Structures are given as structure tokens and as C-alpha cells.
């Protein structure tokens, strides 16, 4: 008899408790829902960014063989001839322009190896001989000026810092790297920020919920 009454009482208390909880939850609901959705959206976004960037930039970083930095001494630097390039002159319109191809051989100070110099990975991919491929434009004199500038720079600075492949699979030596540690860092920075903020929003909403429930309970005890 006593037990049954006790159990009934407890059940009643639980009911009240649940009702109370429901009240606070429904009171906070619309804003919270949106916040949670925003948080989840940001986390999803960052996952997608990690995925896309991971298979582009990070793979290029990992594939890059020019890992060692050294000093390069210019051996010779010659203009081998003109290269054709095409620039856009509107929709479906391409015109041909030309720029001089500057070929530079250097010796890598640290190893004594001789290699052809290239501006970066993209230049190395695009051309087998030219140091630098300017953005194609109508004004070929401007492109020539850029190349002459580089040639002058290499004449006055006989030693330049450069990147080479320590395993000697690649003869080409790079002046600058597109894909290095700082590129990897910047690639991962934005998705990581988004992920952190998204997770923070969700944690904050849960914390708010928890605190409001706590407040409610304290209020009940005081009453
Ligand atoms: C420049 O040096 C390289 C390596 O020694 C050599 O193969 C090339 O023929 C030289 N080019 C000219 C124009 O002297
Ligand atoms: C560039 O184009 C001209 C014709 O406009 C052609 O005669 C020449 O062979 C081309 N040069 C190269 C390197 O493709
Ligand atoms: C390497 O470069 C330094 C200057 O950066 C120079 O003093 C040194 O003689 C060079 N060594 C060789 C082997 O070329
Ligand atoms: C040549 O290079 C210098 C700096 O290295 C730069 O100030 C100048 O604008 C360049 N000129 C051209 C035509 O690119």
C-alpha cells in the first residue's frame, strides 16, 4: 500500500518534471534549432572543404619533389626564341601573341648538380624550356619587358635561392614553390576555423540549454 502510494507520487513528480522540461525546451526552440542547423551546416561545409582541398592542394604538396632549399649559381641565361601564346579577346575569340623564351641553367650550390631553372611548379608543367611564362596578353612588348626584367635580375644576382629535388628525379630547379608548408597551412586554416565555430555554436546551444534547465531546477528548489 505504502509502496504503491510512493510510486504514484514519484510518477507524478516525474510527470511534472517532464512537463517543466518540455516547457523550457519549447520556449527556446526556434532560435536553438536555427543555431544548431547553422552549426551543423558549418561542420558539413568544413568537411567538404577538407575533402576538396585535401585532394587538390595537399596532394600537390605531397607530390612536390622540390623539397630542399639551396643556393643556385647562374651558369648561363639565353633567349632561345619566341613562344606563341593565345589570349582571349571576347567570347569565343582567341588571338595569338608572342613572348621571348628565356632559358636559364643553374648549378645548385649545395650539391653541385646542374639543372634548368623554372619559376614554379606550373611553369615547369607548362614548358620544358622557359624560366617564366607571362600571362598572355595582346601587348607583347609588355611581356618582353617582364622577361627582360627577370633576365636583368638574374644577371645582377648571380646567386639566387632555389628549390631542388634531393632524390634527383627532377633536373629542374624552382625559384619559388606554389605548394609548400605555408600553402598547406593556409589551405587547412579556413576549414578548421569553420569547423571550430560550428562546433562552438553547438556546444554553446547545449550549454545554454543545460544552464536554463539548471536555473529552473534551482528556482524549483527555492520555491
Ligand atoms: C648552358 O649551360 C648548359 C649546362 O651546362 C648547357 O647544356 C647549355 O648548352 C648552355 N647553353 C648555352 C646557350 O650556352
Ligand atoms: C608560332 O606561330 C607561328 C605562326 O603564327 C608559327 O610559324 C610558329 O612556328 C609558331 N611557333 C611555335 C613555337 O609554335
Ligand atoms: C655557395 O654559395 C656561397 C654564397 O651563397 C658561396 O660563397 C660559395 O662559394 C658557394 N659554393 C659553391 C660550391 O659554389
Ligand atoms: C622590374 O622589376 C622591378 C623590381 O624587381 C619592378 O619594380 C619593375 O616594375 C619591373 N618592371 C617591369 C617592366 O616589370
In DSSP notation, 88-138 reads: E-STT-EEEEEEEEEEEEEEETTT--EEEEESSHHHHHH-SS-S--PPP-S
pLDDT category, 112, cuts 50, 70, 90? confident
Q: What count of other Cβ atoms lies within 10 Å of the Cβ of residue 133?
A: 19
164 lies in some domain: yes
Range of the domain at 138: 64-184
Provide the pLDDT for residue 14.
52
Q: What is the pLDDT of residue 125?
A: 81
For residue 157 and ligand 4, the question of a CB distance below 6 A is answered with no
151 within domain boundaries: yes
Atom 13 of ligand 1: nearest residue by CA position: 78
Nearest CA to ligand 4 atom 3: 149
Does the structure show a pLDDT above 60 at 93?
yes
Question: Rg (Cα) of the chain, in Å, rounded?
Answer: 32
Q: How confident is the model at residue 23 (pLDDT cuts 50, 70, 90)?
A: low
Residue partners of 106: CB distance under 8 A and separation at least 6? 72, 73, 74, 75, 114, 115, 116, 117, 160, 162, 173
| Residue having the nearest C-alpha atom to atom 5 of ligand 3 | 71
Residue 10 has pLDDT above 80, yes or no: no
Residue 189 lies in a domain: no
106: in domain: yes
Ligand 4 pocket, residue 146 CB under 6 Å: yes
Answer whether 55's CB lies under 8 Å from 152's CB. no
3-state secondary structure of 66: coil
User: Mean pLDDT over residues 181-187, rounded?
Assistant: 78
For residue 144, is it within any domain?
Answer: yes
Give the pLDDT band of residue 17 (cuts 50, 70, 90).
low
The mean per-residue pLDDT over the stretch 112-128 comes to 85
**How is residue 19 written as a grid cell?**
512537463
- The reply to whether 13 falls in a domain is no
More confident residue, 167 or 9: 167
Task: Name which residue leads in pLDDT, 63 or 220.
Answer: 220
Strands (E), the chain: 68-88, 94-108, 114-118, 159-164, 173-174
Domain count, the chain: 1
Amino acid at each position: 500500500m505504502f509502496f504503491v502510494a510512493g510510486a504514484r507520487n514519484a510518477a507524478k513528480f516525474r510527470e511534472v518534471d517532464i512537463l517543466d522540461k518540455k516547457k523550457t525546451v519549447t520556449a527556446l526552440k526556434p532560435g536553438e534549432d536555427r543555431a544548431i542547423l547553422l552549426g551543423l551546416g558549418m561542420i558539413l561545409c568544413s568537411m567538404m572543404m577538407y575533402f576538396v582541398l585535401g585532394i587538390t592542394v595537399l596532394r600537390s604538396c605531397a607530390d612536390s619533389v622540390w623539397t630542399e632549399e639551396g643556393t643556385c649559381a647562374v651558369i648561363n641565361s639565353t633567349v632561345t626564341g619566341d613562344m606563341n601564346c593565345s589570349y582571349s579577346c571576347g567570347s569565343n575569340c582567341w588571338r595569338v601573341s608572342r613572348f621571348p623564351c628565356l632559358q636559364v641553367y643553374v648549378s645548385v650550390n649545395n650539391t653541385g648538380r646542374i639543372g634548368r631553372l623554372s619559376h614554379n611548379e606550373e611553369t615547369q608543367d607548362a614548358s620544358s624550356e622557359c624560366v617564366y611564362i607571362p600571362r598572355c596578353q595582346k601587348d607583347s612588348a609588355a611581356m618582353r619587358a617582364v622577361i627582360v626584367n627577370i633576365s636583368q635580375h638574374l644577371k645582377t644576382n648571380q646567386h639566387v635561392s632555389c628549390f631542388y629535388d634531393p632524390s634527383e628525379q627532377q633536373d629542374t630547379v624552382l625559384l619559388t614553390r606554389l605548394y609548400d608548408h605555408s600553402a598547406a597551412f593556409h589551405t587547412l586554416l579556413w576549414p578548421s576555423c569553420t569547423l571550430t565555430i560550428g562546433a562552438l555554436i553547438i556546444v554553446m546551444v547545449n550549454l545554454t540549454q543545460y544552464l536554463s534547465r539548471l536555473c529552473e531546477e534551482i528556482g524549483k528548489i527555492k520555491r
